Amino acid sequence: MVYKDDKHSFMQAMKKKFEEAPDKKQTKFYVYGGYKQNKRKVEFHDAGQQIAKERGIPGYNPSVGMPQGQRVLMPYQLSHTDIIANMDDLHFVNNAAMQQAWDDMRRTILVGLDSPHNILEKRLGKEVTPETINHYLEVVNHSMPGAAVIQEHMVETDPRLVKDSYVKVYSGNDELIDEIDSRFVIDINKEFPADQAAQLKKAIGKSMWQVVRIPTIVGRVCDGGTVSRWSAMQIGMAFIGAYNLCAGEAATADFAYAAKHGSVIQMSDMMPARRARGPNEPGGLMYGVVSDCAQSLAKYPDDPARHSLETIALAALIYDQIYLGSYMSGGVGFTQYATAAYTDNILEDFVYWGMEHVKDKYGSLAKQKPSVKLINDIGTDVAMYCLEQYELYPAVMETHFGGSQRATCISAAAGTSVAMATGNAQAGLSAWYLACNVHKEQMGRFGFYGYDLQDQIGAANTFSYRSDEGLPFELRGGNYPSYAMNVGHQSAYGGIVAAAHAARGDAWALSPHVKVAFADRSLPFDFANITKEFGRGAMREFIPAGERDLIIP
């Protein structure tokens, strides 16, 4: 930790954000022209006036709110990219890439083919061959977007509105995959480095699975709970059509269950009644799943820090900006909070410093046995390093002007570092809580009430696995008891899980199926370059799915 070390990765962003040198403690206020210093806010102002005139109801009008821009309205650099974004363009409402990231996760469901194939052969006397599978895939790629297979005089969806809907397959059986039309295949051998591909194929085995993407527009108009229903209906119709099945015989009931529901992996669990969300909604998303959706490790296999940071970026969007920020709360404040985790290379600097510190001190990653001493040593070292950067570089402190932003980044860095040292996410979680205490005591302050409550009690269940006491970290998620309002935490929780497994050289954290499903080049959102995609969204360069221009004047 060298003071004034220009190698800090946040330096470039700091120099773009502020006129003054990053280590200067003083600046000027109230002299920047208010909101007019920011082109997007000027645009908002002008649009607000026009809208009010047209609709006859007052709307956006900054003069009735707290005057914006009495200090510098900072731009934000998307971490590990050169993209500089306007702050407003990182709200998910203003960012099509962010919307699509969640759309692509919510509209995905994985459905096994082995059970229906068994019933087709054993109960219904049908032959299943690579040729019949190819034929079925052609039919299901017709039906999944919303087209008719079995009945005449049917309403159908306009294929231009649902062109993002399709079905692909994957398997650990290379011979079988070789026989399948490559247009329908996610090829594990092509999408992953050899050692990761070998792990994934071994875990998936000989079975064959479908990756189903229902139309983005359906996920949006309905909800995550619709995904399994839409998928099931179209799969059922496709099987009946492709294999000429009877629509009425008793065996069809068994077959329908096997084909639609018998082996299904949803992206997230249903929420309890008090939070009232179906499956494939963000509250039920486990940290292991969000880590597996991120694909950085396949592209950068020797960089567990990047994978962790990319997972954090994705998780910040889904848990903080979308779930806690809108499903559970509503409004705009959560964006400012969440962006701290994936902009300006601040957390980047912290996480890489932590990883290098572990390598320097212990020689390698994922070789240390978790212990009180190890967690104390690494957790304290990394937390202190992060605190020092905030304290020695006032520009960094101002960038993360909320205590919760700093708490996220400090604790995330401590957690990922210990996770990478040990290959154990639970140990990483313990370091998170230790860093919270270090932060609180050093600064005499911490985060918002959520930190001051949950992070004072969270250590008590870190090492508990038993039901009602705890869970392996990979299986915890937004609905884990004291995490339900943990704003700013869950992004890093995903990153800690990712860090543990990436450091071990694991190809996935929780589910090899999810990992393969998102190594899919047909998805509009590129899960291997998450911050870059957010940046493209902010620059208005990202082309999303689910648009309805076709059906409006």
Partner 1 sequence: MTYKAQFFPGKSDPSKNRRKYMDPSYKLQKIRSVSDEDIVRVLGHREPGEDYKSVHPPLEEMGEPECPIRELVEPTPGAKAGDRIRYVQFTDSVYFAPISPYQRSWMYSYRYRGMDSGTLSGRHVVEARERDVEAIAKEIIESETFDAARTGIRGRTVHGHALRLDENGIMFDAMQRYVFNKSTGEVQYVKNMVGEPIPAPISVGKPLSEDELKKRTTIFRADGVTIRDDAEVLQMVQNVHWERSFGGFEPYKEAKF
> Which spans of this chain sit near partner 1 (rule: CB under 8 A)?
20, 24-30, 66-67, 70-71, 370-372, 376, 380, 384, 387-388, 391-392, 394-395, 397-398, 400-404, 406-407, 430, 433-434, 437-438, 440-449, 452, 456-457, 459-464, 466, 469-470
Angle at the Cα of 234 (from 231 to 237), degrees rounded to 5? Answer: 145
Whether the CB-CB separation of 251 and 124 falls below 8 Å is answered with: yes
* 521 closest CA partner among 187, 180, 163: 187
Cβ-based nearer residue to partner 1, 132 or 482: 482
Cα 426 to Cα 92, 141, 432, 457, 496, distances in angstroms: 31, 41, 10, 16, 9
In angstroms, what is the C-alpha Rg of the chain? 25
Quick count: other Cβ atoms within 10 Å of Cβ 408? 30
Cα 163 to Cα 120, 216, 522, distances in angstroms: 30, 9, 11
Cβ-based nearer residue to partner 1, 159 or 333: 333
User: Strands, DSSP E only, in 187-263?
Assistant: 208-213
Cβ-based nearer residue to partner 1, 381 or 526: 381
368 is catalytic: no
262 is catalytic: no
Q: Which of 151, 248, 330, 331 is catalytic?
A: 151
User: Distance (Å, rounded) from C-alpha 200 to C-alpha 267?
Assistant: 18
For residue 171, the surrounding DSSP H or E stretch is strand 166-171
Close Cβ partners of 356 (under 8 Å, ≥ 6 residues apart) = none
Whether the CB-CB separation of 115 and 218 falls below 8 Å is answered with: no
User: Distance (Å, rounded) from C-alpha 242 to C-alpha 425?
Assistant: 45
Nearest distance from residue 343's CB to partner 1, in Å? 16
Start-to-end C-alpha separation, the chain: 59
Quick count: other Cβ atoms within 10 Å of Cβ 151? 8
Nearest distance from residue 459's CB to partner 1, in Å? 4
User: Distance (Å, rounded) from C-alpha 328 to C-alpha 312?
Assistant: 20
Backbone angles phi, psi at 76, to 5 degrees: -130, 130
Residue with tokens 């051998």: 189
Q: Which of 76, 287, 337, 390 is catalytic?
A: 337
Quick count: other Cβ atoms within 10 Å of Cβ 141? 18
User: Distance (Å, rounded) from C-alpha 457 to C-alpha 451?
Assistant: 10
Nearest distance from residue 412's CB to partner 1, in Å? 16
486 is catalytic: yes
Residue type, 544: P
442 is catalytic: no
Cβ-based nearer residue to partner 1, 383 or 523: 383
User: Distance (Å, rounded) from C-alpha 296 to C-alpha 305?
Assistant: 10
Quick count: other Cβ atoms within 10 Å of Cβ 288? 24
* 296 closest CA partner among 286, 287, 283, 306: 306
Cβ-based nearer residue to partner 1, 170 or 393: 393
Cα 129 to Cα 117, 208, 431, distances in angstroms: 10, 13, 52
Close Cβ partners of 81 (under 8 Å, ≥ 6 residues apart) = 531, 532, 535
Query: Catalytic positions, please?
Result: 151, 337, 450, 486
